[in-house]
Amino acid sequence: MPPFSGLMLDDGSRSKKPYKWQRVLLKVSGEALAGDHTENIDPKITMAIAREVASVTKLGVEVAIVVGGGNIFRGASWAGCSGLDRSSADYIGMMATVMNAIFLQATMESIGIPTRVQTAFRISEVAEPYIRRRAIRHLEKGRVVIFAAGTGNPFFTTDTAAALRCAEINAEVVLKATNVDGVYDADPKHNPDARILETVSYNEVISRDLSVMDMTAVTLCQENNIPVVVFNLQNPGNIAKAIVGEKVGTFIGCTRNQGRNVESALDQERSLVNEW
């Protein structure tokens, strides 16, 4: 692993680098954990995440993580195969997220980050059950909390779980780490002229059906005034930059006046972003 030089600073430098968020929810997709896809999980990716999270927890930022399971099993893709119903497929996918969470926990603790895994359904031999107040207490004590098993219910994605847990633990932002640089105005795989959007409103995400998060997650964030930052996990330093509030990827903002039209809402959110 190349040395991380993003935020591992001396004490004098730290005091000069203010950070925006005090408590954040980092959403890591299963596909991102797979790295080059030669194995289900790439240890270099988990170690990079652990090192960057370590650098910001030393600044006093409280970090919770929601992990996906698409690198091992994606329920929506397998539903209907060999008689597998959607609910059963989703439960298998939830267990895949637990596997990722335990792997990530082990990586973090190997470099000295106290970490707890909480699951939406009980697997008491390997993880704590999700208890909101206990999760908040762990964060207050400087521990990283990894939420696994999604919401514990089929038909809901881990994006929705990230939005839900963010609201429950009073985190200030959802940081969505993916394999792309941010949100584009078109699919970059099919349109070479697609351009990345630095800021976008929730209304625009919904009206233009931008592929960011599922609509349940978007609506939940919008209703609870939770901003989302979408950025590329593969770029070294991006996680730490996003956590401390530096501009990276795409900022999806919440508006103060949801009844306004899309353009005025976007203008408001851009002005909020410029206040970083």
Domain definitions of the chain by residue range = 23-271
Q: What is the structure's pLDDT at 254?
A: 57
Q: What is the structure's pLDDT at 129?
A: 97
Tokens, residue 228: 């989302």
Q: Which fold has domain 23-271?
A: Carbamate kinase (3.40.1160)
What are the φ/ψ torsions at residue 80 (nearest 5 degrees)? 95, -15
Q: What is the structure's pLDDT at 77?
A: 73
Handedness of CA 66, 69, 70, 76 (dihedral sign): negative
Tokens, residue 141: 């004590």
How many helices (H) and strands (E) would you count in the chain?
A: 11, 11
Long-range contacts of 6-10 (CB under 8 A, 24+ apart): 6/52, 6/55, 6/236, 6/237, 6/240, 6/241, 7/52, 7/55, 7/56, 7/59, 7/237, 7/240, 7/241, 7/244, 8/55
How far apart CA 64 and CA 74 sit, in angstroms, is: 23
Instruction: Give the helix/strand (H/E) hosting 105.
Output: helix 86-110
Instruction: Specify the DSSP class assigned to residue 82.
Output: G
Q: What residues form DSSP beta bridges with 231?
A: 177
List per-block mean pLDDT (blocks of 10 residues) for the chain, which spans 276 residues: 44 51 94 82 93 92 95 78 86 95 97 97 94 98 97 95 97 92 83 87 87 89 94 90 90 57 47 51
Tokens, residue 72: 């091992």
